[in-house]
Amino acid sequence: MGTLSTTLSKLLSKFRRPVAAAEPALSKPAEVAHWNEIDRRTRLGERIFWLNHPRIFNHYTRKSLVDGLTWYEWVARQLGGPAEIALELGCGSGAVLDKFLRGGIIKTGVGIDLDASRFTNDDRRLSFRAGDVNHAKLEPNRYDLIYAVQSFHHFEELDAIMEQVRNALTDRGFFVMNEFVGPRRFQWTDGQLAVIAQLLGLMPKHLRMYASGVEKREEGRSTPEEVMRVSESEAVRSDEIVPAFYRHFNVVHHRKLGGTIQHLLYSGIVHNFPDDDPEIDHMIDCIDGIETTLIDGGVLESDFAILIGTKHKPAGA
């Protein structure tokens, strides 16, 4: 009987879905509704953000490559195969976890986001935890990969979260952040707004039209209160993310991904830019080049970055 129950429990453990430690219950209905609405529009094929355009996205991805590989291929290579368990902070619909599962980057995955309505994936190798990442308690020494894609700038408790993440990584594990790290509460600098206005002035009018029929001549700077009205947690401490990352992790990769101009320039008008049009492609390439030159020359900061860290320095380092 003892042997049978041991065999059964061993068998069952193979099928058990990975579970993260429980988070305190929370309620942020406006925030959840905001993100669900964006996901709904994206599913319908609407282009909302600059990175929804494939050519702009390709420039962004190219800058984030590590040894010529996407960051997740690089992590899998470092691990010598797929991560046993990965954790995504602010996972949204679970699309990224799903991509990693299908691409052989992870064997199983856990996603945390604010509400169960955010997660739309039912693959049994993926599990979801509703909770506030700010107060998440993560099981120590559990994950080969923990990552955040455009979500960490919504978190306020930077040090507490990074401490949890560091503890929750396996000794061989990686923490990756592909993030907005620019001005908090989107308080854009005069410099970036000036360059954007100049570039808009050079652009043909039909490319600058908002869906409402109004012509875009410049990008404005909303007040922090206006920004919070759209998303309460928007860029809450985004400007502190990079130094916090360096405090908590051994940084093995850090690249500036730009976005300082492009993120705002294309805001509200990216739907006007068709794919595979040689003239448009040329314009997108030039704008990316101008942005890179201004960032590399120290005229502008980079508002987006990729950071990869480990909990320990490699032996001999």
Ligand X SMILES: C[S@@+](CC[C@H](N)C(=O)[O-])C[C@H]1O[C@@H](n2cnc3c(N)ncnc32)[C@H](O)[C@@H]1O
- Interacting residues toward ligand X by CB under 6 A: 35, 90-92, 95-96, 112-114, 118, 132-134, 149-151, 154-155, 233
Encode 301-314 in three state secondary structure: CCCEEEEEEECCCC
Q: Closer to ligand X at the Cβ: 56 or 95?
A: 95
Shortest spacing between CB 233 and ligand X, in angstroms: 5
**d(Cα 174, Cα 106) in Å, to the nearest integer?**
13
**d(Cα 71, Cα 252) in Å, to the nearest integer?**
11
Shortest spacing between CB 150 and ligand X, in angstroms: 4
Q: Closer to ligand X at the Cβ: 90 or 173?
A: 90
Q: Closer to ligand X at the Cβ: 250 or 267?
A: 267
Q: Closer to ligand X at the Cβ: 94 or 292?
A: 94
Neighbours of 140 (CB within 10 A): 13
Two tokens at 72? 């997740």
Two tokens at 48? 């909302």
**d(Cα 188, Cα 93) in Å, to the nearest integer?**
29
Shortest spacing between CB 38 and ligand X, in angstroms: 8
Q: Closer to ligand X at the Cβ: 117 or 167?
A: 117
**d(Cα 271, Cα 287) in Å, to the nearest integer?**
17
Q: Closer to ligand X at the Cβ: 43 or 217?
A: 43
Give kind and range of the element (H or E) at residue 224: helix 224-230
Shortest spacing between CB 26 and ligand X, in angstroms: 8
Shortest spacing between CB 299 and ligand X, in angstroms: 28
Q: Sort 298 into a burial class: Cβ within 10 Å, 0-12 / 13-18 / 19+.
A: exposed
Shortest spacing between CB 200 and ligand X, in angstroms: 25
